[in-house]
Every structure is written in structure tokens, then in C-alpha cells.
Amino acid sequence: MKRRLAAWAGLVALALTACGVVRAGGEAWSFDLPRGFPAPRVPADNPLTAPKVDLGRRLFYDSRLSGNLRQSCATCHVQALAFTDGRGRAIGSTGETHPRGSMSLVNIAYASALTWGNPSIHTLEEQAKAPMLGTTPVELGLAAPGDELVGRLRAASPYPSLFAAAFPDDPAITIDRVTQALASFERTIVSSRSPYDRYHFGGVDDAISPAAKRGEVLFFSRPLSCFQCHGGFNFSGGVETERSGPRPAEFHNTGLYNLAGPWSYPPPNTGIFEVTRDPKDIGRFKAPTLRNIAVTAPYMHDGSIATLEGVIDHYAAGGRTLLEGPLAGVGRDNPNKSETIRGFVLTPAQRADLIEFLNSLTDTALLTDPRFSDPGPLRR
């Protein structure tokens, strides 16, 4: 009898996983995904629970996580902008302008690369420490190792009880617990309700327009080959799901720059070369998800292209040409440029269709979903 009960419990657990439900410690979080849409991979040492997600959401919007008590994670990751900030280059808590823009956190749970240009960060828990405690650049501006933040949270009601609910086996408030909660919340920010999703996963034929359908054909065709860097259900590179396990990160040089001199990309934005020091890696950056791309302008790692039309111009040319100024150069001729960036020709009608397709990836439900919104201030 016990064996039958154990087997039945195992079958139920498998069914819950298949439905995108993660259960641990008697609590559950449902991803509420459409049929056929894969669930993200959740690390075994940080199981997803409703109390932990709630704690992470509150921390995400709490200005206690900044050195100046005026900024939070949400300052640079705004829900209405698909968790970007509308800037080409982010601004930290000290007023420092960063070299790169704030990446969208939408579907970050699926990403094997978590930053524009650092292949050495592999988990959201690890990545969360960088904006809080990092100094190059200063983002939230907390002093390492984070003791001041821990003291603030211990003194703020009801954080002690929230941590106890999220971590019943070890309720101590620590930096590691903070990052585990933040990572848990970020994993739940899943975009799966766009018109494109209703069309492909829901079977609603008129969810996207005929123009968007034509644009999809272009997107997945040659010589455009957009799908080679922005492929799969997430329209990105290096996707991990609960069934796939870890996948290698992908980084690409798109010919955005081609400066004369030792670096073809302007320092400090030299791509993963900053970490690997391999000259072949100069200019190689992460290919971000195209989900909600219509609301995340400006584009590229440094916000140097203002519109989707400008992005298409860049790829159609096989690399951007800048005629004058300190960044002048012919990106098409960049020696490290990815082989898939070859250029192409589109008619005005085809350009309009491609834009219509990209617009169909906007998940307006996610942009207003109260589960991801500011829960309101806690008493200091």
C-alpha cells in the first residue's frame, strides 16, 4: 500500500511539473502556461514556492536594496516596459551612466546567458548580487558584503515573518536568502500570452494579422536568418527549460561597430572579450529575447539604435556604417562579425510585414499583470 501511495505521489508530482507547477514545502507556484509552452528550469537548491516569490517581489520593489534608499531593482526594470527602463544606457544610484542598457527580465528564467557580455554568470541567484554589491559600474550601490541591507530588512516589519514563510527550514535574513527570493520572483516573469502565443499555442488563427503571418515567414527565411540568433519559442539564443537542462550561452558580433585600432568596438563595450580576453570575442554580446521588443526601445547593448526600423536597416546592410566621428567605421567589414550577418534586401511592404510580426510578440497581459507589479511600501 505504501509503495502504491508513493508511486501515485510520484505520478502527481510529474503531472504538476508538466503543467508548469513547482511544489515544495506544501506551497505551490503555477506558471499558468499554455499547452505546449515549456516550463523554465528551476534549480533544486532553490525550489519555487509562493511565499518565496512574494518575498522576492517585495524585495524587487523595495528601495532598501539601494545605498541611497531611493532606488530599487524596479527602477531599471519597469513592468510596463517589459522590465527595461527606456534608456539606452542605465543610470546607477550614484548618478553614474552605465556603458550598457538594462536588459529585459521577461523570460529570463529560460536564458543561459544572463547579462550582455559576461559568460561566467550562470544563475539568477549569482547575478542578483552584481547590481546590489557591484562597483564596475555602481548600480544599486550597496557596500559589500551587504550587512547594511541585512540590518535594514531585519528591522523592517514584516520582513522577518516573510523570510520565515519563504524559508521555513532556515528563516535567517541573509544576502543569500535575498538573492534566492529575488531569483524566484524573476523566474515567474514569463511571457506566454502575446498574440503570437495565442496563434501558435492557442490555435486562434486570427490572433495575428495576415501581415504578421507574412512577417513570420520572412523572419524564419533566408537570407534574413533572424532565427539563427533569435530562435525557438523565446526568440533568443541559449534557451534552457525544465526538460533541456543547461545549454551553452550564445554571444554574437553583429557588425554594429568597426573602429580602427586594437579594438573594433568602443571600450568598455568590447563584448565578452572583457571577460575572456580572447581577441575573437571582441564585439560579441548576448542576443536578447525579442518578446515584447516593441516596448523595449532603444535597441542594441548600448541603445545606439532608436527604432525597430533602424535595427532592420542595420541587419539589412550586413552591419552598420558610421561615416564620421569617433565611432566611424564600416561594421559590415568587422573581422569578428558573425557569419549569419550577411545583409538582405526587403521591399517597403516586406519591412512593414516584419515589423507587424515583431509587434505581435507584445504580451500586454504581462505588462499589466498585478502578480508582477509593485505590492506597495512596507513600514520602515
One fold for 2-190 and 195-364: yes
CA distances (Å), origin 299, targets 9, 189, 215, 275: 47, 21, 20, 23
Domain boundaries, the chain: 2-190, 195-364
- Does the pTM exceed 0.85? yes
In angstroms, the CA 205 to CA 90 distance is 39
The answer on pLDDT for 19 being more than 80 is no
% of the chain residues with pLDDT over 70: 93
The crossing angle, in degrees rounded to 10, of helices 159-166 and 147-155 is 100
* pLDDT of amino acid 27: 74
- Superfamily, domain 195-364: Cytochrome c-like domain (1.10.760.10)
What is the topology classification, in CATH, of domain 2-190?
Cytochrome Bc1 Complex; Chain D, domain 2 (1.10.760)
The per-residue pLDDT for range 232-271, each reduced to its tens digit, is: 999 998 899 999 878 888 999 999 999 999 899 999 999 9
The answer on pLDDT for 379 being more than 80 is no
* pLDDT of amino acid 22: 53
In which band, very low, low, confident or very high, does the pLDDT at 28 lie, cut at 50, 70 and 90? Answer: confident
